[in-house]
Structure formats: C-alpha cells, structure tokens
Amino acid sequence: MPVKRVSGVGWVLVAALLVVAAGVTPIVVAADGVEVQSVDHTGAGVVATDNGRTYIASWRPSTVSVAVATDSGDYEVCLQTDLDDGSTMSLGCEPLGSAETNTSGEARAEFDVTTWPVNATGERTVTALVRPTGGGEPVAQASHGVTVLAPAGDADGDGLGNRDELDRGTDVLVADTDTDGVPDGEEVNRYETDPTSTDTDGDELSDGVEINEQGSNPTETDTDGDGLDDGAEVTTYGTDPTTADTDGDGLDDGPEVNDFETNPTEADTDGDGLDDGPEVNVHETNPTAADTDGDGLDDGPEVNRYETNPTEADTDGDGLDDGREVNVIGTDPNRGDTDGDGRGDGAEVEAGSDPNAAPGSVVGSLELGDDGWLFVFAVGAVAVALLAVGAVVRGSDVRARLSGVRSRGTDRVGDRRNGGSSGGVPTAGSDGAGATADAEELIDDETRILKLLDDNGGQLRQSKVVEGTGWSKSKVSRVLSRMAEEGAVAKINLGRENLIARPENVPEHARSPFDES
C-alpha cells in the first residue's frame, strides 16, 4: 500500500493527533454540521478488544467502517495511520454514502484492509478525515487507537507466536489460555499438551498439577503404568503416580487396589509380618488376613519362625493345628511325633498321654490331699519301673522296624542295580504291606525323605521329592534345608533345580577334591 506524506492539515488535525498521543481515544472533531460518529473495526483480522483498544492481526483481512453525521453535502472519507518515523500512511479514500437511506441520519464509508504493511505493526492510531469531494481542508475527523499484531510477534509473552496462537485457538493476549498453570508456549513447545484444555490426558489431574507438583506425564493417563490413573492415585488412594509400587511391597498399586484389595501405601496390609508381595507371589497366603489358614499362628511367624505352612492349618498332619501345637501343647508343628515314641502327637493328646515326654506320661496334674501322697509315691515308683522296661522294649522295636524299612529300601536299590525288579513292592505272603504302613506312621519327615532317597539309589531331584512325599514345595524346601545343615543330605545345584543325595551317593563330579571317598 503506498505511503502518502500529509502536511498542512491545519491546527485542528494537529491538535487531534496530540490528544491521541496522550492516550485519549477516540477523538472527534466536527465542523460545518459534519461529525464523525464512530470508527469501527470488524472482520477476521479483529482478534480482541481490551480497554477500548482494538487488536488486529496484520495478516488477516479486516474492515474499517466510518459513520458520519451530515445534513447535506458531497463528502469523502480518507483513512490513514501513523508510522514509527512520525509520518502517516494513507489507507485510501472512499466516498461517503447517502444519508437519506439511513434513518439515523448517518452516512458510512467502509475500507477493506487485506493486510497491514510490516512497517505499520504495533500500537497505531487510525484517523478518519472527512473532507469535501475533490479535495480541501478536512471538515471533521476522528481517531482510534489500535494494536496491529505481527505474525511472529508474541503479544502476551507466553513463548507462542501470535499467528500460532490464533491458529491453535488460544488467546493472543493471555499467556495461559486454559489457566492450568502452564504458559501456552510451554504447553506447545515443551510438554506437547493442549493449551486450550486444562487436563490434556483426561486423568482428572490438571496439566499444571502434573507438571509442577506431581512430576507425572500430562499426556499419559497412567504415567507409571500400574493400572491406576494419575488422578485416582493422587486424589483417591494417596499413591505416587510416578512409581508403580508406592509402598515397595512387590505388588503394583493397581493390582493392590483392583485385585487383592490391599493398601497400596502399606507394605504389610494385614500386619502379619509378611509383605503383601511375598504373600501373593511366594507364599500364596491372603495379604488381607493375618492368619490365612486359621490355625492360630499368623502367617509371618509361620514362615519366619516356625517354618510351618501358612496355608495348611496342620502342617505335619498329626491332627493338631499348628497354633495349638505351638501355643498350648508345646509340640513341634513340623513333626507328627514330637517325642519319637511311635505315636502321633494328635493321637497322644486324644489318649491323654504327653506328646512331649516318654511313653505313658499323663497330660495334666493330680490334686491330692496329704493322706494320698504316700500311696502315689509307691504306685509311681512301680509305674516308673514298668515304663522304663516298656520304653526299652518299645525303643528296640521301633529301631528294629525303622532299620527294617531302611534295609528293605537298600535291598530294593541293590536289586535295581543288579537288574532286579525296580518296583520294590513286597511279594504276596510277606508282611511288607503291613510293615510298610506301620513304618510310614512311625517315621518322621527326615526319615521319610531318607527312605525315599534309598528307594531311588540315594539320589533324587527335588521336584521328585515333592511328588514322592506329597508335601508342598515350601515344606520340602524347609525340611531339606534343615537336613542339609545337619549333614544328612547334600543339595547339588543343577541350574534350575537341586539334586538331593545322601552324602555317600554324591556324584563324583560334584565332590570336593578334599572329600574322602
């Protein structure tokens, strides 16, 4: 658009421009019954109006409409704006329309501005001059302050260019359009969030809270991938949206809330001494119940102190719950026959004998008067003598039966090595079936495993020990560890599994060079 130098406008125009420069707009000067009523800006180029100032996008088209009150006469309206160097630039002249067609007595002239020149951006003053058609001194004028925005400028200083803001629908005059605490420029250029949406990912945490407070990702609903949305973690469960396992118990927050109903902010929800993760993943116990099997012992003590099975009320199968054995009777919950007298603890308690003492002991105590003690002493002496004899006989019998069990196992091993039967099943007519059944009742856990090894050449994989005993993996592991510490068996690591062997049956390649043959 050509620039026209304007001079000699007269004292009226000079006075008007000085008042505009002082910040008072619009300025209207009238003469000869002609008055400029308004100067309006419309169209796509008008992006905002603030405190009477119009903001215009220089790269978008706009229309300037000048309304003039006049009784008669032939006039034209010329539009101009100031430049940085103090000169003015003409935006053109348009004839003033007839006032007869306007009931308000106004005539209008409209100016279509396709684009504003680059040197006309920034804060400008647009002045409308009314003068007779063909030239002459202005008879009326009005000025209006505008801000012309350059495409690459940043009117609100938010780091996002004016053109970019208008293309994205953000407010060109507001640094944080969605008021989420993050400037529009950072949302677009750094975090890739939506500057017109407070919560870009819809997780019920605003972008500003995620970025400035929680450190979570405002573009991902579940930052840590634990199965809980970031908003729910912060506002409902009190968990960390950037850490999958807030309490570090081995269970992610999502499964704790959705699957196991445990507390994701407490490692041991039921307070039984076992963290929730090991309860679920290792011991298969209930992380919300302190005593999973209801045997009177909490899961933690069962695993860490007594080495019992927290999912079985009666670990050793003697008819007594583990808690009763530990807290009431004082027997070993891992041994069916605590005192080794050949009778199970449960059977002894039911019969009234003491499962912790020599055969024949009576559970409980007698309350006698002074006159009865001499009789009790005499009877007791006889009973002790008889019990001692019976114990010797029974002990010999038990040892003989156990020896027979082992010798039969050894014989079967020898038969297999010599090409004999591998089944190890006693022949008809022998007392093998009855003796084996009796021996199974008598032998404890360690003896049962030794017998199983003898039946299989002194060596057996740990998984086969589980199958052969019918025990749980955890119980087999506990018993074998105890036996290995006592030197009763050797555990040889085969990679993913252990080989269990009697010391004399350890393979040559697994022996230490310092071991005696």
Q: What is the pLDDT of residue 515?
A: 53
Q: What is the pLDDT of residue 421?
A: 38
The one-letter amino acid code at 100 reads: E
Question: What is the rounded average pLDDT of the residues 431-456?
Answer: 70
Q: What is the pLDDT of residue 512?
A: 54
Of 32-41, 82-91, 485-494, 504-513, the range with the lowest mean pLDDT is: 504-513
If we measure between CA atoms, which residue out of 125, 124, 138 comes closest to residue 8?
A: 138
What burial class does residue 141 get, using C-beta atoms within 10 Å of its C-beta: 0-12 exposed, 13-18 middle, 19+ buried?
buried
Give the pTM: 0.59
Each residue's pLDDT tens digit, 223-233: 999 999 999 99
Asked if pLDDT for residue 431 goes beyond 80, the answer is: no
The per-residue DSSP string of 123-172 comes to EEEEEEEEEETT--S-SEEEEEEEEEEPTT--TT-SSS-HHHHHHHT--T
Of 111-120, 159-168, 332-341, 491-500, the range with the lowest mean pLDDT is: 491-500
Each residue's pLDDT tens digit, 381-422: 434 443 443 443 344 443 444 344 344 333 433 343 343 433
Which residues are CB-neighbours of 125 under 8 A, at least 6 positions away?
A: 17, 20, 21, 25, 81, 82, 143, 144, 145, 146
The 3-state DSSP class for residue 193 equals coil
Confidence of residue 245 (pLDDT cuts 50, 70, 90): very high
Q: Which long-range contacts (CB under 8 A, 24 or more apart) does 396-402 make?
A: 398/340, 398/341, 398/342, 398/442, 401/435, 401/438, 401/439, 401/442, 402/439, 402/442, 402/443, 402/447
Which range, 24-28, 66-70, 200-204, 471-475, has the best average confidence (pLDDT)? 200-204
Q: What is the pLDDT of residue 510?
A: 63
Each residue's pLDDT tens digit, 92-104: 999 987 654 455 6
If we measure between CA atoms, which residue out of 336, 359, 299 comes closest to residue 479?
A: 336
Average pLDDT, the chain: 80
Asked if pLDDT for residue 177 goes beyond 80, the answer is: yes
Domains along the sequence of the chain with CATH:
11-149 (2.70.50.60)
Residue pair 304/273 in contact by the 8 Å Cβ criterion: yes
Helix residue ranges, H only, 228-372: 230-232, 253-255, 276-278, 299-301, 322-324, 345-351
Question: What is the rounded average pLDDT of the residues 294-308?
Answer: 96
Asked if pLDDT for residue 369 goes beyond 60, the answer is: no
Which string of b and e fits 291-321 if b means at least 16 CB within 10 Å? bbbebebbbbbbbeebbbbbbbbbbbebebb
Distance CA 104, CA 12 (A): 27
